[in-house]
Amino acid sequence: MFNRNRYLPPLAVIASISMVTGCGVFSSDASDDADPIVVGTTSAPSTLDPAAAWDSSWELMRNVFQPLLGYAPGASEPEPDAAESCEFTDSSSTVYSCTLREGLKFSNGHTLDAQAVKYSFDRIKKINVNGGPAGLLTTLSRVQTKGDREVVFHLSQPDATFPLVLTTPAMSIVDPADYPADKLREGTEITGSGPYALDSYDEGKKAELVSNENYKGLADRKNSAVTIEYFGQSDQMVKALKDKKISVIYRGLGAADIVDIQTHHDSENLQIVESPTTEISYLVFNPKDPWAKNPAVRKAVAQVLDRPALAHNIYKDTVEPLYSMIPRGLVGHTTGFFDDYGNPSATKAKSILTEAGITETVPLTLWYTSDRYGSQTKPAFEELKRQLEASGLFSVTLKSRPWKTYSEGYQKGEYPIFGRGWNPDFNDADNFIAPFVGEQNALGTPYKSPEITDKLLPKSRAESDRGAVSEEFEEAQQILVDDARLIPLWQGKAYTAANEEIAGLENVIDPATMMTMWQLSWKTSW
C-alpha cells in the first residue's frame, strides 16, 4: 500500500505549494475500449452536491470533482490540482492565494475560472447545510478574484490548516451554470472537472464513471472507466468479488471477511492489502435527550465500556481500542479515557450514578447505520448493548437506519445516542477536534466549548509547525474526556481486496482514506 509511515509523523502544512506549468497534467495510456473496473463498496453517497457533503459522499466526489489542491500517490503533503500554485502571501497565515492552471474546463465544456472557484466557496457558506462542510470554513472571511486565474482567500484569523481544507472534496469546484447559488442542486447529475465524468447514477445501486477528457490536474489516470456498485451487506459484496462480478472491494469488508480472504487469498486468486489509518469509531451523546444530556450517565457508560472485548470478539483484531478522539500517529494523541476510567467497572459506574442521585435503571436508545460501516456494525452495537446491560445499570434499545436516512436523522438531532465513524478530512489533529465542537458541526448536535473553539483551536492554527501544537490538543482532549459527550471506541485499518488481475492497490488510498479510482488498472493491459 502507500507509505506506512504516512500517519506516524504529523502532517506538515506547507506555506508555499507550487509547480512548473504543465507538470503533472493528466496523461493516460488507458485503452478506451477496456472493460470498466468494477469496485464494490458499502459506502453509498447521501448527496451529490459538495455543498451538502461532509460524509461518505466524498468517496464518489473525490473522483468526479476537483479541488484546488490534492495528493500525489504516496504523498502526505498537498500539491496543486486545479491550481498551478498556492501560497500564503503574508507572514500571519491569513491570506492564501492560488493561481489556476491555464485552460481548465468542466466536464460539460464550460470554462473553469477564478469566478467559478469563488462561486463554489461562496455557495457553501450561503447554503450553510446543517452538519455540512461550511463547518470547515469557519476561518474563511471572504474570497477575492484577481483576473481569470487568481483566487485569494482572506481568513479571519491565522489558520495554518487552511491548505489542508482545500484538499477535501467538500471544496470541489462546481459550474455556476448548473449549481444554484442559494440551494442544493437536485437530480442525479454531476458537473465537475475531475478525472472522471459521471455517466449514469442509480441511487444506492451504481455509479458509472467515464473519462473526463477535459481534465487537467494532478491525477494520472490508469484506466478509462470505473463502475462503482453499492452493497447493503458485506457478505453479498464478497460473494460478488469471488464470483468475479466485481473486481475490487473497498469500504465495508466485515472482520470475518477480512480474515477469510487473508487466509485463503492464494487459493481463491485474490489479493488483500492492509494499511494503517486514522479512521476512528465513536459514540455521540445528544444534549437534547434527558438521559444523554446527564454527565453522570455519560461517564457511567464510559466506565462500563470494554473496548478490548469489542475489538477482539467482534472485529477479530482488525481494529484497535481507542481512548481519545485524536488517533494514534497524530500529534496530541492521548489515552485520556483509560487514564481517567481505567478498566471497565460496573461498581465504579454505579457509584457515578448514585452520587448523581440516579438509582433506577437508566433507559438508553442507541442508533447505528445498517449499511455504512459494513456487516460488523450490528454485532458491534449488540456487544455494546450486552456490556451495558450486564452492568445492571442500563436497559438498552437498539435502532438502525440505512445511511442516507440515518445521516439525515442525526443532522436533525433525532437520536439520543448514536454511532459515527470518522475518516479524516485531512491528517492533522485539528480535524479530530474542530469538526465535532461548536454551534455548527459535523454531528448536527451543537457542542459549545468556548475553551476549545475560542482559545485552543485558534492558538494551534496560528502555528505553522504542526508538530509544535501537542499541548493545545492534549488540553482539548481532556475537556472532551471530562464532558464525555463523545466516547471513542476504536481506531481502524484500511483493507482493500481485489482479484489478482487488478494492479495499483499500493497507491489507491489517499490520506483521507478515500479511493482514487484512477490508480486502478488491469494487469493484462500494462
Task: Give the DSSP letter string of 243-306.
Answer: TTS-SEEES---HHHHHHHHHHTTTTTEEEEEEEEEEEEEEEE-TTSTTTT-HHHHHHHHHH--
pLDDT band at 229 (very low <50, low <70, confident <90, very high): very high
| DSSP-assigned letters across all residues of 165-215 | HTTSGGG----TTTS-SSSPPPSS-----SSEEEEEEETTTEEEEEE-TT-
pLDDT band at 130 (very low <50, low <70, confident <90, very high): confident
pLDDT band at 252 (very low <50, low <70, confident <90, very high): confident
Q: From CA 163, how far away is CA 13, in angstroms rounded?
A: 7
Q: What is the pLDDT of residue 375?
A: 75
Question: Which 8-state DSSP code applies to residue 311?
Answer: I
Distances (CA, A) of 522 to 197, 273, 501: 20, 17, 6
Query: Which residues, at least 6 apart from 242, have a Cβ–Cβ distance to it below 8 Å?
Result: 268, 270
Judged against a pLDDT cut of 50, whether residue 31 lies above it is answered with: no
Q: What is the pLDDT of residue 487?
A: 98
Q: What is the pLDDT of residue 21?
A: 35
**Residue range 68-112, pLDDT digits in tens:** 999 988 788 899 999 999 999 998 999 999 999 999 999 999 999
Judged against a pLDDT cut of 70, whether residue 60 lies above it is answered with: yes
pLDDT band at 267 (very low <50, low <70, confident <90, very high): confident
Q: What is the pLDDT of residue 457?
A: 96
pLDDT band at 22 (very low <50, low <70, confident <90, very high): very low
pLDDT band at 5 (very low <50, low <70, confident <90, very high): very low
On whether the CB atoms of residues 326 and 336 are closer than 8 A, the answer is: no
Judged against a pLDDT cut of 90, whether residue 14 lies above it is answered with: no
Q: What is the pLDDT of residue 28?
A: 41
Q: What is the pLDDT of residue 265?
A: 86
On whether the CB atoms of residues 87 and 15 are closer than 8 A, the answer is: yes
Q: What is the pLDDT of residue 12?
A: 35
How far, in whole angstroms, is CA 271 from its chain's centroid? 25
Mean pLDDT within 252-275: 90
pLDDT band at 32 (very low <50, low <70, confident <90, very high): very low
**Residue range 389-431, pLDDT digits in tens:** 999 999 999 999 998 899 999 989 999 999 999 988 888 999 9
Backbone angles phi, psi at 314, to 5 degrees: -100, -45
